[in-house]
Amino acid sequence: MVDLTKGYPDKGYKIIGKPVPLIDSRAKVMGQALYTDDIRLHNPLTIKILRSPHPSANIHAIDVSAALKLKGVKGVLTGADFKNTFGVLTISKDEPAIARDVVRYEGEPVAAVAAETEEIALEALKLIKVDYELTEGVFDSKTALKPTDRPLHPELGKENNLHKKVVQEFGDREKGFAEADVVVEKRFRFASINHGFTEPHATQVEIDNKGNITVYSATQVPHYLHMAMAEVLEIPQHNIRVVKPHLGGGFGGKSDPFPHEMIAAKFALELGRNVKIKFSREEVFFSHHGRHQTDLTMKLGFSKEKGITAIDLDTLIDGGAYGSFGIVTTYYNGVLLQGPYKVPNFRFHVNRLYTNKPMCGAMRGHGGVNPRFASEVLLDMACAEVGLDPAETRLKMIHKENTLTTNEFRVTSVGLQNGLKEAIRRTKWSERHGKLPFGKGIGVACGFFISGSALPIHWNKLPASTVRMTIDHDGGVTVYSGATDIGQGSDTMLAQMAAEVLGQPLGNIKIISADTRITPVDLGSYSSRVTFMAGNASRNAAIRMRKLLVEASCVLLDIDPPVYDKPKAPDNYFRQGGRKPDFEQGFLGANPDYADGFTFEDGLIRCDSRNVSVTYLEAVEKALECDGILQTSGTYRAPKLGGNFKGAGAGLSPSYSFTAFIVEVTVDPETGFIKVDKATCAHDCGFPLNPLAVNGQIEGCIHMGLGQALMEEMVYDNGATQNPSFLEYKIPSAFEQPEVDIVPTYSDDSEGPFGAKEAGEGILAPIIPAIANAVYDAVGIRLTQLPMRPDRVLTALAKEAKEAQKKEPAHE
């Protein structure tokens, strides 16, 4: 067995930092875990959605009478039944549950049927007559920029299909490029890609005799779904309970409220019956919400002495038919370039366009992935032109800890330098880069990502995460959290927090999560916020619980209780612009110390100085005496951060992760096939709460990045999805996965719970340019279009050969 703790400091933790199988793993592999579609409600109706076969059309009429007459059909809904549009962002609520009058993408719902059986529902769909008037559609960003009298979203009052334009500028570009030793510029093009999670969307709604509904749904965002549903259906939030069962992967594809959820709830309310719906894989592709198709031009200035002197970026992102997370994507396409290196002069201009295709939204790494490819490839080019080693150069340029970026992101902990150094050593980089035989190459790239957004997307003054904790009279601990385990293991993380602080075995901690009737609000699993924010909240709840048990123990032992210091910032807490941390008002703050002179271990609570102890159970019993219930809550609030300019909030995070990849490839110059032989990864996650889980995320990000790099692309034919299946949408098989070597990398973030930062998304972005840079090392071509298909490799090789011929002196 490999020791996964090797390489990390031993802090004497009992369960933190140990490789822990996820607490629901056994249930999943035994087939006992209940995913949304596995739940058995009483006598549910089955819902099927009628979807438009046309990407752009007006609906002149829709006749559902024949469907309603079919025996077993209980109800039919159309666009007329839903007045309110919705969207995950308050500033972008543009999606109807069912298309009203206008169809904007192929696959858009135009009607829905609820029937006693699936067969009857399918039969009913065939009986619905829709009178479509086909209209001319818009299918790419460039066309979408052109003026039109029929924009997809006339409510925006624009003359074209521009959804959002973001321009931000810092420093002085001209000066920056003038200072550079070399300026490199290239155009890049990225296909839209899909998350490919294993579990298709599914929702079941249970209704009681008072009209209250319980919505079981495969969602990453129970809280946002809860609020959106109340608004769309115009019923009180309190009459809706959202529950997330076991979930088979999200990656951003389940992080919005969805039409099918609204449809299901409405059927339940109108018919007074339980209902269920599940998607086919094809419907998942129509839903999409994948990574935006992107066209970008980036110019990068580099100086041997100063590093990157300037970046200038012009980008079009193709958002499809609706907004989803798109406005955030638009910002992230620029702001996330502010790390992992300093960029003193910086400008980006990103336009998001509407087109008649399934909508794009958030996908692992969000808007940071595509520009990361561009900047890491350009950096590699710049190093090659000035004759500097690209790995050593990056090593020097990575942000030092406690730095403000040019756009005023507060970077605190950075531990990547050691990880990259070790990766360079392990891969024998300096002996191999530029020196391998033709066809073999080694490349490097780095990345940077947020550990959750410091500002909520729905403006409010609530904490970013709240966790409740109780202890039963038998000592069992229950943790209640809105945090949404989507397979990444947040339930396990919450349990580890409680187990460590209270000195309990993991099995003694029960998790109740993602149930809006029972658990306090957590904003959801997106932007890699959960470990940092819900983890801190759980830790804080456990610390308060520990305090109650210590006090009870002192009463039993007849000794004075400890005097607790007022919560204060950790010693190395990095203030931004003199702002005081927000630790007043009784909040514990982030990652506080809990050294209270007691040790919780082996069922005992012991006062260290006097060496006297009581049992944990005795303390629990004593603590229960007063109120009959032993309950605490803990919260996390992000500190006040950010500059004072418009859009300063995008990309703000209490902490950032840093990643480096060194990748080894073999390129077949006759077929153009790229084989990724080995990926060496150093990911600064602060401190690995669970190295088994962190390593799993690294392997998963490698696989997903490999897919985007080599073979994944959504193919549209005038708006029609050509490859809505796992046969034709090419996700790499197990055979394509390279050998993986993980370099333990840490930085002990002072605000992350037990020092932890994110390890879910940031890892993905840099592997893609690392592959591209390795391909350059192998065969001397710069690929600027994803996926890096074999035919594109051959085209680039032919072009390169032609250029090389031109440079040779003519022979007589």
Partner 1 sequence: MSSLLENFAYARPTSFEQLNDIIAECQKNNSHFAFSAGGTNLIPRLKTQSLKIDKMISLKGLQGLNVIKKQDDRIIIGALTSLNDVVTSALIQEYLPALAAAAHKVASPQIRNCATIGGNIMVDNRCIYIDQSSLNRKCHDPCFKADGDVCHLVKSVKKGDDILCQARFVSDTAPVLLLLSAKITIVGPHGCRKIDLSDLYLKDGISSRNLQAGEIITQLDVPIIKDCHIYYEKLAIRNALDFPSLGVAVKLTNGDLSVALTGLNTHPGIFMGKLADYENFDEMRADICAQAMRFAKSYQQDFFPRAYRKSMIPVFITRGIAAIQKGDRQ
The binding site for partner 1 (CB under 8 A) comprises 48, 51, 53-55, 106-107, 118-119, 122, 280, 282-283, 670-672, 710-711, 717, 720-722, 724, 727-728, 730, 732-736, 789-791, 794
Select 677 or 736, whichever has its Cβ closest to partner 1. Answer: 736
Q: How far apart are the first and last CA of the chain?
A: 66
Phi, psi of 202 (to 5 degrees): -155, 145
Q: How far is the CB of 363 from partner 1 (least distance, A)?
A: 21
**Nearest distance in Å: CB 121, partner 1:** 9
C-alpha dihedral sign at 479, 480, 482, 484 = positive
CB of 151 to partner 1, least distance (A): 23
- Which of residues 118 and 739 has its CB atom nearest to partner 1 in the complex? 118
Beta carbon of residue 732, minimum distance to partner 1 (angstroms, whole number): 6
Q: Which residues of 766-788 are buried (b: 16+ CB within 10 A; e: fewer)?
A: bbbbbbbbbbbbbbbbbbbebbb
Q: Of 204, 199, 64, whose CA–CA distance to 124 is shortest?
A: 64
Query: Please, which residue, 237 or 722, has the CB nearer to partner 1?
Result: 722
Asked if residue 342 lies in contact with residue 308, where contact means CB atoms within 8 angstroms, the answer is yes
Token pair belonging to 59: 């609906």
Q: Closest CB to partner 1 among 548 and 710?
A: 710
Closest C-alpha to 587, from 460, 686, 479, 462: 462
Where does 307-344 show beta strands of DSSP type E? 307-318
SS3 content of the chain, % helix, strand, coil (to 5): 30, 25, 45
Decide whether 87 or 732 has the Cβ nearer to partner 1. Answer: 732
Minimum CB–partner distance for residue 111 and partner 1 (Å): 13
**CA-to-CA distance for 709 and 707, rounded, in angstroms?**
5
Nearer to partner 1 (CB atom), residue 112 or residue 523: 112
| CA separation, residue 81 to residues 45, 92, 98, 210, 247 (Å) | 19, 21, 8, 22, 30
Shortest Å distance, C-beta 771 to partner 1: 15
**Least Å from the CB of residue 728 to partner 1:** 7
Q: Which is nearer to partner 1, 66 or 122 (CB)?
A: 122
Helices (H), 387-461: 390-397, 416-426, 429-432
State in angstroms the smallest separation of the CB of 118 from partner 1. Answer: 5
| Separation between Cα atoms, residue 34 and residue 47, nearest integer Å | 20
Q: Which is nearer to partner 1, 277 or 541 (CB)?
A: 277
Least CB distance to partner 1 at residue 155 (A):
27
| Beta-sheet pairing, 477-481 with 509-513 | parallel
- Cβ proximity to partner 1, 585 vs 733, nearer residue: 733
**In this complex, which beta carbon is closest to partner 1, that of residue 526 or of residue 729?**
729
For the CB of residue 779, give the shortest distance to partner 1 in the complex, in Å: 16
> How many whole angstroms separate alpha carbon 265 and alpha carbon 195?
26
Closer residue to partner 1, CB minimum distance, 283 or 515: 283
How far CA 411 is from CA of 128, 405, 450, 573, 651, in Å, comes to 57, 7, 10, 11, 11
Helix residue ranges, H only, 503-654: 530-557, 616-627
Question: Is the C-alpha dihedral spanning 420, 426, 431, 437 positive or negative?
Answer: negative
Quote the least distance from Cβ 44 to partner 1, whole Å.
16
